[in-house]
Amino acid sequence: MTTHVAPARSIGILGTGSYLPKEEITNEEIARRVPGITAEWIGRRTLIHGRRYAAPEEATSDLARHAATAALQQAGVEADRIDYLIVATSTGDAPLPPTSSLVQNDLGAHRAACFDINIACAGFVYALDIARALVALRPGSLALVIGADLYSRFLDYDDRGTAVLLGDGAGAAVVGAVPEPYGILDIELSGRGDVHELIWIEGGGSRVPASADTVANGGHFLRMRGRGVADFVMENVPPMIGPLLARTGTALDQVAHFVPHQANGVLLGELVQRCGLTAARTHTPLVKYGNMGAASVPVALDEASRAGLLADGELLLLAGFGAGMAAGLCLLRWCVPGVGAQAGVQTQALNSRTPSAPFPPALLAQKECAQ
């Protein structure tokens, strides 16, 4: 599906924020928990060397609140000015109430209409498109878009295909009017429900309600068919780029930054080549934080922004893809955040952070590691 929103003004990102839990989980620790693998094996096949796990008292709404606070501070916006609050997550605090309602209450964003969307790792890009449309329809309004997931509570350590990849985190963006020619140029979304069986959590819904049997049988763990997921990404994401660039009159070599979902480092290396984006800087915080689900894109975006890696006016391509299956691309012209970023606003959520390096060219040749 292609979305065509023609706002009367440019809509873009006014500020970003992110939060990573304090507990660092190394590959050595994962290798102790997962039978039959080593730390070297994890690093070679995924390029991931660490991930963060939430503290026992933390839930997805807590991660989301921290990221949202940082984004609001950078944008110079008070929480009570937010008109729409959207949380993209597949690991909400509970089936009800919506996680967005909990975040709204914690932030004091009492004017905001709030709702969740669950499109897993594509969720942040989908939520950006919804926010863009809502803000365009109500001039002067503001949206707070959050991607947050807490996968460490859904891992089966006997399943090395998922346990080595996933971590916890949250990222956020304040969306509103920006001066032309900045802002979101266009967004391309795609859904493939015919391959929904590639990533799933079986238990806990209306079809397979939670019971002693679903718990005993591991029905509440996240499952994934890794090879099928990789094939989906390679077959579906690259063809989406051409139409998006054509509609915006953009040449591929004009894209300065690629900010993809942090699925797997080897997979991303191949995707960069398939998309013809080798001249762009690919941002890969997965090296430190692993696959954070819906948080992956906004965390990568915030880290790059705070490190000063995104120059004013540069073109960015955001890419989310995952369970559903679903994929989303967002092409935007970056507007460097104003007062908050220039003043070097820092929060506890961002302490001791280091920027991602560009995707190392030498790693692009490691396709065989994913096989």
> Which DSSP helix (H) or strand (E) runs through 301?
helix 296-306
Distances (CA, A) of 313 to 75, 186, 201, 337: 17, 15, 41, 12
Which residues on adjacent β-strands are paired with residue 19?
170
> Which residues form the catalytic set?
121, 261, 291
CB 51 within 8 A of CB 79: no
- Residue 1's pLDDT band, with cuts at 50, 70 and 90, is low
Query: Beta-carbon neighbour count of residue 38 at 10 Å?
Result: 13
Strand positions, DSSP E, 134-266: 143-150, 168-177, 183-191, 199-200, 223-224, 255-260
The whole-number average pLDDT for the span 335-364 is 44
At residue 209, does pLDDT exceed 60? yes
Which CB contacts under 8 angstroms, 24+ apart, belong to 25-29? 25/50, 25/51, 25/52, 25/53, 25/167, 26/50, 27/164
Among positive and negative, which fits the CA dihedral 253, 186, 71, 262?
negative
> Which DSSP helix (H) or strand (E) runs through 244?
helix 238-248
Tell me the per-residue pLDDT of 75-87, one tens digit each, with 9 for 90 and over.
Answer: 999 999 999 999 9
Burial-class residue 312 by CB neighbours within 10 Å (0-12, 13-18, 19+): exposed
Residues in the chain: 371
Tell me the per-residue pLDDT of 265-291, one tens digit each, with 9 for 90 and over.
Answer: 999 999 999 999 999 999 999 999 999
Distances (CA, A) of 50 to 29, 149, 200, 322: 9, 16, 24, 21
CB 163 within 8 A of CB 293: no
Say what the pLDDT of residue 341 is.
33
At residue 348, does pLDDT exceed 80? no
Distances (CA, A) of 153 to 35, 104, 166: 19, 23, 10
Strand positions, DSSP E, 306-358: 315-322, 326-333
Say what the pLDDT of residue 50 is.
97
Tell me the per-residue pLDDT of 212-260, one tens digit each, with 9 for 90 and over.
Answer: 999 999 999 999 999 999 999 999 999 999 999 999 999 999 999 999 9
User: Which pair of tokens denotes residue 278?
Assistant: 């080798």
Three-state DSSP at 318 gives strand
Say what the pLDDT of residue 54 is.
98
